[in-house]
Structure 1
Amino acid sequence: MSGPEDVAGAAVRVPHSRTGTQGVLNIVGAHLYAQDSQGRILLGLRHPDSLYAPSTHHFLAGHCEQESAVACLVREAREEAGLVIDSDDVEFAHAVHLVDPPGTRPRMQLIFRARRWKGTPTVLEPDKCVGWGWWHPHDLPDPTVPYARAAIEAIRAGRLYTEIGWT
């Protein structure tokens, strides 16, 4: 992840290049929406010691690091779960613009559907994820990260964009 940020993830103000006013940079995340032949969605159970959403189910995901969102998704899929995804097999599915909790840096969470991939999800970063599982979208496990649940519901309803936590 690049750019100014304090350790707690609090909003960091940076000068706007044209106006000189202060702005807050958004963190960009790339998330995998993978469905198997039975229509189940891949979710990982986050490690109980995770700083964000411990012991909660979530998409395979990562922050963009001087790369495109699709390149981030492809990299994270290989690093976290051993999945090989060709960028040509990726399509945009949904965006969640999120501020959670209030006062933290806003996040633009981009969710991409992979039409195909090679490999079986394997835990390769056990300090982040303790297991991968396939879940029916109408029967997601508890707990599931709220914005992931909202994105799955929106994708099923054909909506492309969701806002959470903005006042």
Structure 2
Amino acid sequence: MKPHLYGSVHLLFYQNDQILLLKRKNTGFEDGNWSVVAGKIDPDEDMLTSVQREAKEEIGVMVNRDDIKVCGVLHRLSGTLNWVDFFVEIKNWSGTPFNAEPDKCSALEWFPLNGLPDHTIPYVLHAINKDQSSMWYDSDGWG
């Protein structure tokens, strides 16, 4: 039986009033558009472990569990798929971010929060622009 609910993590890496974005390619989802480090939560891991894995896989950095701040949850309908997206704020990590998945990412850049690029995925842009000082909830795609 196909699951009715999928989980994902979206990592908001902040440094000097800038956010780290990557340009997606060859994934079949929003290719050519800007997003944050993100991915599905695997069946054998909790959300925080997923954040740590995605940070290492996509940009080659290590994140301690204590440095992950859950800032928001988005319940999203994407086509026929029902998603719960966890948005987490990360301000501390070890290592220097680099494009560790060049087959899935054509660019990795820091952008000022008031100068995000055109073609940022709309729901990601919406989440970035949310007030991150307290935890938020929103929904998208439900009509």
Normalised to the residue count of structure 1, the TM-score between the two structures is 0.79
- Matched residues in 1 for 2:96 and 2:40: separation? 22
- Matched residues in 2 for 1:118 and 1:135: separation? 20
Is 1:143 the counterpart of 2:119? The answer is: yes
1:78-136 CA distance string (max 9 Å, x none): 011101101111110111111123xx111111011113101121111111112211112
Find 1:81's aligned residue among 59, 63, 66.
59
Unaligned segments of structure 1, at least 5 residues? 5-11, 13-24
SS across alignment from 2:88? strand
Is 1:29 the counterpart of 2:8? The answer is: yes
Is 1:130 the counterpart of 2:106? The answer is: yes
Question: What is residue 118 of structure 1 aligned with on the other side?
Answer: 94
What letter is aligned with 1:31?
Answer: H
State the shift of 1:164 in Å.
0.6
Unaligned segments of structure 2, at least 5 residues? none
Superposition CA RMSD, Å: 1.6
Alpha carbons 2:71, 2:132 under 8 Å: kept: no
- Matched residues in 2 for 1:159 and 1:142: separation? 26
Alpha carbons 2:24, 2:35 under 8 Å: kept: yes
SS across alignment from 2:73? strand
Alpha carbons 1:94, 1:155 under 8 Å: kept: no
> Identity rate of aligned residues, in percent?
28
Alpha carbons 2:71, 2:133 under 8 Å: kept: no
Question: What is residue 163 of structure 1 aligned with on the other side?
Answer: 139
| Higher relative contact order, structure no. (Cα contacts within 8 Å, ≥ 6 residues apart) | 2
Is 1:108 the counterpart of 2:87? The answer is: no
- Matched residues in 1 for 2:113 and 2:8: separation? 21
Find 2:37's aligned residue among 60, 82, 90.
60
- Matched residues in 2 for 1:44 and 1:151: separation? 16
Q: Who wins on radius of gyration, i.e. which is larger?
A: 1
Question: What is residue 41 of structure 1 aligned with on the other side?
Answer: 19
- Deviating beyond 6 angstroms after TM superposition, the runs of 4 or more aligned structure 1 residues are none
Question: What is residue 18 of structure 1 aligned with on the other side?
Answer: none
Normalised to the residue count of structure 2, the TM-score between the two structures is 0.92
- Matched residues in 2 for 1:26 and 1:39: separation? 34
- Matched residues in 1 for 2:104 and 2:60: separation? 14
Greater percentage in strand: 2
State the shift of 1:159 in Å.
5.7
Aligned positions, number = 142
- Matched residues in 2 for 1:155 and 1:68: separation? 25
